[in-house]
Amino acid sequence: MNAGDPLDRATAREYASWFKALADATRVQILSLLARAPEPLTVGQIVAGVHVVQSTVSAHLKALADVGFVLVERRGTASYYRINDDCVDCFPSAADVVMGRPVPAAPGPAHRKATST
């Protein structure tokens, strides 16, 4: 990509999905809580931390997992959520790329989702 060229369509879609996922205050709160937690958290712990009902938290966690910001670890019947450091580390670079600022290495769809079971 030359300095004056816009992003290719696939990368633009990817970045748009990231920005859309962060366009909700509760999702930002959930990410902030998970980023500060020393260990993965259950939905119940997240509910207690952001003071939103369980069904809403679950829907937001799904949206965050769909774009790869959050990873789910299943332990028996419980699900634990944590930040996907690989994806979150790419986000500031994505903002720079969209704004036309140079970055050391432009992240791309390869950083999309990593799942953990």
Q: Give me the domains of the chain, ranges plus CATH numbers.
A: 9-98 (1.10.10.10)
Q: Where does the pLDDT of residue 52 fall: very low under 50, low under 70, confident under 90, or very high at 90 and above?
A: very high
Q: First and final CA of the chain: distance in angstroms?
A: 36
Residues recorded for the chain: 117
Torsion angles phi and psi, residue 108, rounded to 5 = -145, -170
Predicted TM-score of the model (pTM): 0.74
Strands (E) across the chain are located at 41-42, 70-75, 78-83
pLDDT at 110: 44
Which pLDDT tens digit goes with each residue over 58-97? 999 999 999 999 999 999 999 999 999 887 667 667 667 7
